[in-house]
Amino acid sequence: MAGALVCSQAPLFERAAERLPGLMQAASREQLLYLYARYKQVKFGNCNTPKPSFFDFEGKQKWGAWKALGDSSPHQAMQEYIATERYGKKYTLHNRINFCMLWNLLLLWVGGGNSDNM
């Protein structure tokens, strides 16, 4: 059943990945790493590549973000990627809401937090 859900979400994921360049100027490095890790988890599964060398700072950050997902399912990573791109585009490009505020709300939503506790 989960495989069917991933397949039904695949077109949304691909469209979200195509639209990501439009969000790159508004996103922080941390937010881009978040999306990068989820993209890699969807496309390749768990991180199975060696850690980049000490001097490859960008590579180490990307590797660390992907590795931190551990055994997260590709389905979960796909949902988080789609939600981030969708809400980021809607609010940052159209309504000019602060992306950091949006990011915190999205993390609260993805993490299953209760907004009544804020």
Residues 24-50: pLDDT tens digits?
777 788 888 898 999 999 999 999 999
To the nearest whole percent, how much of the chain has pLDDT over 90? 36
How far apart CA 56 and CA 102 sit, in angstroms, is 30
- Domain count of the fold of the chain: 1
CATH number (domain holding residue 89) = 1.20.80.10
Do the Cβ atoms of 99 and 26 come closer than 8 Å? yes
> Domain residues for 85?
2-117
Task: Look up residue 3 and give its two tokens.
Answer: 């495989």
Contacts 24+ apart (CB under 8 A), 96-100: 99/26, 99/27, 99/28, 99/31, 100/28
pTM above 0.85, yes or no: no
**Which of the four pLDDT bands, split at 50, 70 and 90, describes residue 4?**
very low
